[in-house]
Amino acid sequence: MLVSTLCWAHKQRTLKQIRERNFEQNGGNMLLQRLSQQQGYTDRTKIFTQVELQNATNNFDEDRILGRGGQGTVYKGVLPDNMLIAIKKSKVGGDPRQIKDFINEVVVLSQINHRNVEKLLGCCLETDVPLLVYEFVDNGTLLDHIDPLKNECSISWETRLKIAVETAEAISYLHSATSIPIIHRDIKSTNILLDHNHRAKVSDFGASRLVPLDETQVTTMVQGTLGYLDPEYLHTG
């Protein structure tokens, strides 16, 4: 009995050390520092535990996968209160630049409160790669609805116009209404999610940039998807 207890205690200490190491490697200290600089936003971003998200996704079962992309895999999860969530499992693997982009996405989204922007609920940094937890948006991407190869029952032009207006309102909010202006830098049909009422939700802020209010002209390293980039931004930064 004593040996079993000692082995269990040793295993728990080892797991705790792994979680602490992952938290540091995934930019946990950087995130806490950045969030502490944003007054009033820290409480909006919950730090989930690894166990909570394993339980929500049935241990990240393949059947829970909503999609895969260049930035990672997205899983559908269910919290104990039956709230549906989307969990983005990043492909960040210790690269300082990728970690910085990940932390930037968390900090950016922690400031945003708009009905046409996908809401960030929190993140988990205890796992080998960081996880972002979002509200669940149940009707796929805009591309899923306008690409004839994916959907023969294309949405109406009236609905498309509504989605365009809502997306424009979200971008206007990011540029003008947030405490620090936000440049998304990768607006495209796969980054616009739709709910069951075809309401637009702008998503994927990994390439975003916070712009201090005192900067009238801002030069950034060009990021985004070719074919969707603003020509002036592409040529001048």
- On whether the CB atoms of residues 77 and 155 are closer than 8 A, the answer is no
Q: Which residue, 146, 149, 168, 167, is CA-closest to 157?
A: 146
Name the catalytic one among 63, 95, 186, 195.
Answer: 186
With tokens 């005192």, the residue in question is: 214
Pairing of strands 182-183, 200-202: unpaired
Q: DSSP for 34-65? A: HHHTSTTTGGGSEE--HHHHHHHTTTT-GGGE
Q: What is the DSSP letter of 85?
A: E
Residue 138 appears among annotated catalytic residues: no
Other beta carbons within 10 angstroms of residue 172's beta carbon come to: 11
Tokens of 119: 């809401």
Q: How far apart are CA 132 and CA 122, in angstroms?
A: 6
Q: Which residue, 87, 191, 69, 76, is CA-closest to 142?
A: 191
Catalytic residue annotation:
186
